[in-house]
Every structure is written in structure tokens, then in C-alpha cells.
Amino acid sequence: MARKAIKYKTTQPPKFAVRKYNRCPLCGRVHGYMRRFNMCRCCFRKLAREGKIPGVVKSSW
């Protein structure tokens, strides 16, 4: 229920503009969000490994 309430809360416009924060649309994570890809680092890593993000390749050392 808590996650459902948080997801609903994010759809509402904030009372003040500075209270807006980015949330991953796939898993709902707040921290580790990458604006360029519009997802958190966990989802980015998973999708990049599967090759579902075009132009992203795993770097090797």
C-alpha cells in the first residue's frame, strides 16, 4: 500500500516547485536517477546488460 500511495503522490503536482524530485518509472527508485536515460542506475544496468538501450555498450578494462 505504501508504494501505491507514493506512486499516486508523484502524479500530483507539488505545492512548491522545489519539492519536485525524479523517480524511476520502472521501479520507483528515487536515488541514483539518471536524467539522460530517465531511469535509476539499477534499471539502467539491467537493461544495458540485456542490450535494450541503444548506443550503450559495456566498457572493459
Q: Which residue numbers belong to the known binding site for Zn(2+)?
A: 24, 27, 40, 43
Q: Is 33 exposed, middle or buried (0-12, 13-18, 19+ CB in 10 A)?
A: middle
Task: Give how far Cα 2 sits from Cα of 14, 28, 41, 45, Å.
Answer: 18, 12, 22, 26
User: Which residues are known binding-site members?
Assistant: 24, 27, 40, 43
